[in-house]
Structure 1
């Protein structure tokens, strides 16, 4: 099947144009998304973590020749600038924050959902890594298509090194955000999001995509972040309100029900030694002293 092409716009494109293309195609590339200075700072701040992180152990999805480093906002000052990039954040707000009308007593009011930074990962695909299975990122919330009538996520992949067909550039199926959940994606329908370092790929959570195969002799490194609808979370913030000492006294089932767990769709994982782990493993570690205190 002939795949639709990915559009590319410059970093000074108006946000309205960016949003229009994303809604039409599901994805686009923004050239010169960050400056050379920002790119250099990111590399300097993230390289020590990437070098110290082992490759994954999951041969199916995460990859055995791929390094993944999370907790990026806590590890990189420059990454904060990337997350607040006006085109990325602005597009996320316009695409995700679609108001809904609700009744409160006799009043019909309009409510606009919030968004939150959902995931941050530096991903380095090494030589020999095969293609990642095609998937939709909003599967983490079991989002249905097209019944909900709104998007759940806008994701960004910033190229920290050149992305090419040979070194594993992210593969995308433009237009797949319009598919229902019965249609199966195929690799023949994908195209490689080739782009120079400093450019970024933006795509909606309903777009089928996956990491490409690295048949080159050098790694391909990218930084991914995603904004999600903020109502996909706990209503009460148990993570801050319940001390870790009290949490350890509770039955494991209660701990999981309070959010200290990883769902079957991988929501709620935490990075431990470069691997995406269930929070239950943290509670079993004597060295874990609570959020922000290290482990």
Structure 2
């Protein structure tokens, strides 16, 4: 019997190049000690009114998406508009931004947020079907560059029983039609405050929560090439009245910048009245 796949565990203070090398080789890496208990508690407190709201497990665009997340998973979207601590500590975390620059930077003028959600996987939740996040852009022909860098942050200890994310190391180098065998899945078991970071081309999916009374809260945060259309409409999810209170870099990541490819022989994407929206926020025009 083939041995079960495993993911490498590194610490957040280890050299960046080591994290980058593992991510490149395996398509995924677990980085521990990214966030302390105080930060986690503060973010959970800020998001509790939304996670506990009636219908938080029914906020899906169509039946296919509803089936993907399942009836036992509660969903909070648009985190940048709901938790200032999420913005300061998670959205702008230096390690994730540096990795996004390394992975995505060669193929865009700048990267943007694709989606920032909290998923609370409840007892009875079934495992998601294995997928690649980049397949939301299914019309992009192959071969193609890496289009997305994703992460799941553990807001409690992630174990197999509670539904830890299942990742297939090395699948970012597979042909698109290859399907993983059971032993090729690795469970991203990790302590609270850790992140499993993976490429958009890496096969993965949330695990099943087989417990009777434990919930698995976690963040999904992903960045994409700046010239792609994001899964979440971030400028509406974080409207100008909220966006103008955020740091300039957060505004840019949420779509209030232009994708400036002039130096590469291209042009601007995302302008408003031929201006940069973030500048208009600063001047009061927006």
Same fold (TM over 0.5): yes
Q: Does 1:77 align with 2:84?
A: yes
Cα distance between partner residues in 1 of 2:99 and 2:139: 20
Aligned partner (choices 229, 237, 247) of residue 225 of structure 2:
229
Please state whether the residue corresponding to 1:21 is helix, strand or coil: helix
| TM-fit CA distance, 1:224 | 1.0
Identify the structure with the greater helix proportion.
Answer: 2
Q: Structure 1 pair 143/151, CA: closer, same or farther in 2 (3 Å)?
A: farther
| TM-fit CA distance, 1:60 | 3.1
Q: Structure 1 pair 143/96, CA: closer, same or farther in 2 (3 Å)?
A: farther
1:65 is matched with 72
Aligned partner (choices 121, 127, 140) of residue 125 of structure 1:
121
Q: Does 1:115 align with 2:111?
A: yes
Runs of 4+ in 1 over 6 A off after TM superposition: none
1:214 is matched with 209
Give the TM-score taking structure 1 as reference length.
0.71
| TM-fit CA distance, 1:170 | 0.5
Cα distance between partner residues in 1 of 2:182 and 2:224: 26
Contact 2:127/2:208, CA 8 A, preserved across alignment: yes
Q: CA RMSD in A?
A: 2.2
Q: How many residues get paired? A: 224
Structure 2's unaligned 5+ residue stretches are 237-286
Within-5 A mapping of 1:1-295: 1-52=2-53, 53-56=55-58, 58=63, 60-80=67-87, 81-99=89-107, 112-142=108-138, 147-148=143-144, 150-216=145-211, 217-233=213-229
| TM-fit CA distance, 1:13 | 1.5
Structure 1's unaligned 5+ residue stretches are 100-111, 241-295
Q: Structure 1 pair 24/146, CA: closer, same or farther in 2 (3 Å)?
A: farther
| TM-fit CA distance, 1:2 | 3.6
- Of 77-86 and 178-187, more deviation after overlay is shown by 178-187
Give the TM-score taking structure 2 as reference length.
0.73
